[in-house]
């Protein structure tokens, strides 16, 4: 009962912080708005076309995508850390982001100048390409990380960094071969930005999240078991490799759908699970929702900073997250040595 109250209290606090952040993002920017103007526009009682344009075409889609991407990366990061039993594992560090991003850049490269002609279908295809790229990256990393029939976590990190660098170089090379308009679009994915958010992007990623996040939550108890020795888990009737594969595929699907609309945003999947564990303990049924809420809040705050810190100019949200994430990663490295 105490754990449930603790979980409910933690989620309530984060829900309040998220609402406050959304309120600040809606009302502040290059064109400031009052609470009454925002509420009136959302409820349809204020029919000023300027407010409708700003809220429904610019700010609200961006806020929704930031929230969904943060939630997805937080959940996926929890799964990856649980499977590998490595608190330093993250989709960005392991190269899965880079693999998914490279596949999307390849998609852009072969459909140069035609992406806008494809319309909704082109946008809906991007997560599929991202899924294939993320899967290729993950399988390659896993193949080179096995030692003596078991997954070596140190080799996993080193291989992930190498594979990520390779896919990153491929993305950069292809983007340089593109036309100027497509090059600008590809640069968005590489750096991690959601400034061109729209409702079609939200529609393209929602099915993946609605299907895969519940799958992960349903199998949360297995992540608890994976913290034990493999022989112990096998002895109680768990098909370890099959369940790991399902969870890994689910996390890759979540990551790929996020990368397809936001580009490569690293460190959310690293930070969110650690913060969640410090707040609600080690049970993954509690960690997963809190990690999703933490990731959501982090990306919302980072996006607000990205669009206002140097207004009217903008910096990619991925850079803002990295400014926070790199010191946190170094802190975790130092802490593990103690």
Q: Which residue has the tokens 């594969």?
A: 245
Among the listed residues 333, 286, 263, the one whose alpha carbon sits nearest the alpha carbon of residue 97: 263
Structure-model confidence comparison of residues 259 and 336, the more confident one:
259
Long-range contacts of 273-279 (CB under 8 A, 24+ apart): 273/74, 273/77, 273/78, 273/81, 273/87, 274/87, 274/328, 274/332, 276/74, 276/78, 279/10
| DSSP 8-state class, residue 55 | I
Mean pLDDT, rounded, for 320-330: 84
Structure-model confidence comparison of residues 120 and 247, the more confident one:
247
Other Cβ atoms closer than 10 A to 21: 21
CATH code for the domain of 223: 1.10.3470.10
| pLDDT digits 0-9 by tens, 230-251 | 777 777 777 877 888 888 888 8
- Which domain covers residue 210, as residue numbers? 2-337
The C-alpha atoms of residue 177 and residue 171 are separated, in whole angstroms, by 10
Whether 279 contacts 90, CB under 8 Å: no
Against a cut of 0.75, is the pTM above it?
yes
Domain count along the chain: 1
Residue 336 has a pLDDT of 67
| pLDDT digits 0-9 by tens, 123-170 | 667 767 777 887 788 788 878 877 766 666 677 778 888 888 898 888
The C-alpha atoms of residue 163 and residue 141 are separated, in whole angstroms, by 7
């Amino acid at each position: 009962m105490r754990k449930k109250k603790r979980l409910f209290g933690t989620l309530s606090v984060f829900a309040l912080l998220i609402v406050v952040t959304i309120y600040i993002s809606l009302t502040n920017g290059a064109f400031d708005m009052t609470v009454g103007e925002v509420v009136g526009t959302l409820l349809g009682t204020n029919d000023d076309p300027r407010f409708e344009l700003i809220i429904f075409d610019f700010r609200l889609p961006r806020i929704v995508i930031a929230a969904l991407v943060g939630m997805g990366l937080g959940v996926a990061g929890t799964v990856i850390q649980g499977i590998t039993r490595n608190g330093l594992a993250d989709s960005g560090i392991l190269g899965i982001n880079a693999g998914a991003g490279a596949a999307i850049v390849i998609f852009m490269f072969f459909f140069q100048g035609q992406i806008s002609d494809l319309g909704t279908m082109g946008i809906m295809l991007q997560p599929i390409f991202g899924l294939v790229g993320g899967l290729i990256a993950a399988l390659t990393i896993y193949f080179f990380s096995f030692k003596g029939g078991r997954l070596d976590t140190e080799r996993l990190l080193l291989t992930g960094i190498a594979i990520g660098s390779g896919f990153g170089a491929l993305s950069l090379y292809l983007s340089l071969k593109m036309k100027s308009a497509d090059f600008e679009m590809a640069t968005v994915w590489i750096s991690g930005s959601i400034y061109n958010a729209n409702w079609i992007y939200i529609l393209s990623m929602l099915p993946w999240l609605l299907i895969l996040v519940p799958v992960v939550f349903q199998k949360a108890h297995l992540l608890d078991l994976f913290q034990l020795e493999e022989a112990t888990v096998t002895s109680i009737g768990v098909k370890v490799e099959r369940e790991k594969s399902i969870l890994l595929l689910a996390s890759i699907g979540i990551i790929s759908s996020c990368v397809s609309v936001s580009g490569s945003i690293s460190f959310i999947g690293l930070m969110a699970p650690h913060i969640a564990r410090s707040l609600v303990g080690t049970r993954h049924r509690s960690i997963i929702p809190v990690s999703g809420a933490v990731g959501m809040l982090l990306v919302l705050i980072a996006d607000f900073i990205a669009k206002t810190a140097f207004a009217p100019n903008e910096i990619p949200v991925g850079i803002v997250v990295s400014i926070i994430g790199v010191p946190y990663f170094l802190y975790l490295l130092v802490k593990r040595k103690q």
